[in-house]
Structure 1
């Protein structure tokens, strides 16, 4: 198994070439990793770059297991079937949802301050992440964007799990993905360099636009 991309910047540059149909887009990156992919896309397309902050809602005993997600401007999107299999209800994760709302608000304040999201009404919007595993945060992001009445929405990722990509095709006008490997286990396995970004990294990338 080889790496598909040297790093997120290379992945974003390759992805940008598949997005040349977009005219004056608003490029919304899912922080933190998605920002490093989105910056070269926004630069290549001459679009506005901003973040759309999302947070995974974790299963309380094992927070790494996502049972849903929340995006700024949207309501929690829960995997009800997974919750049922775990013997839980939406009320069971209400405390986690509240914690993630607080962290989401903190990150919005750090990344954007008092500035609101760009007006998406009638706009060409590209939602970008560094990959799709379960797709929970991407789904929450797309629902939040759809509520803002955009003209057209594209989800763009360098790599994703096949089933997840297939499931999300109904959530956007178009899904652009460079690779859907059969042996997908985690997003990071397809990058030679997949360092975790910091808030400072996000601000630096946003400041380059």
Structure 2
């Protein structure tokens, strides 16, 4: 188990030490629970932190089924198979997107305030959450990040099932997961403290990360270590990704 999200983020930061201090790298936390984890990763690596806000586009008559997702900068990612099977019209899709985009912009302003979003063009982007169950939100985030111009997308999570992690490798260049139990009944069961994160806590963490900018590369852990344990692959994955940081 992880003690809390801070502990999980510190362990992820150690596993990702190959990207410490790399200027083109940025860490994005999925609100709300992923932001405390991402904060520790960005601090360990000495790279900027921002928030990644995405909204699922649900089929009007069956909202739990997503036909796509949207992100900032006007990004929209569609699942053409769902659009076709649901026989969605452009007007129906536009109505859903208009509603969800208003909520997306409201949340982005709430979390980030008057600060601009970090540009992702040509950068290595580490998307962080506190765990993945079905992986739907993480998949949408990776797709949106790619559409916003990231050259390399790394998804980093403390816990997820092998099947979900394998599926997410289709949308990310690399997926780093510290614990991969065969059955994941609840993400919170892998934390001793899984207290709900508030909007105010997200705002404060982003403020702390922005001032002063950057992090503390000198605090990065010994690259020879492998503290994560569990069933995750301990092979230094960054050596297998020539496009990340090239």
TM-score where L is the length of structure 2 = 0.72
Contact 1:158 1:179 in 2 (8 A): yes
How does 1:33-48 map onto structure 2 within 5 Å?
33-48=33-48
Write the distance in 2 (CA, Å) between the matches of 1:14 and 1:45. 12
Tell me whether 1:130 sits opposite 2:127 in the alignment.
no
Q: In terms of mean alpha carbon deviation, does 74-83 or 46-55 score higher?
A: 74-83
Q: Structure 2 stretches of 5 or more lacking a match?
A: 210-246
The Cα offsets for residues 151-196 of structure 1, whole Å up to 9 and x where unpaired, read as 3221101111222210111212211011111111232222222222
Contact 1:26 1:124 in 2 (8 A): yes
User: In structure 2, the residue corresponding to 1:6 is in which secondary structure?
Assistant: coil
How does 1:78-93 map onto structure 2 within 5 Å?
78=79, 80=81, 88-90=86-88
Q: In terms of mean alpha carbon deviation, does 6-15 or 178-187 score higher?
A: 178-187
Tell me whether 1:75 sits opposite 2:102 in the alignment.
no
CA RMSD of aligned residues (A): 2.6
Contact 2:54 2:144 in 1 (8 A): no
Aligned counterpart, 1:169: 169
TM-score where L is the length of structure 1 = 0.83
Write the distance in 1 (CA, Å) between the matches of 2:83 and 2:178. 28
Contact 1:71 1:137 in 2 (8 A): no
How does 1:84-163 map onto structure 2 within 5 Å?
88-90=86-88, 96-163=96-163
Write the distance in 2 (CA, Å) between the matches of 1:131 and 1:168. 12
Distance verdict in 2 for CA 1:183–1:28, change over 3 Å: same
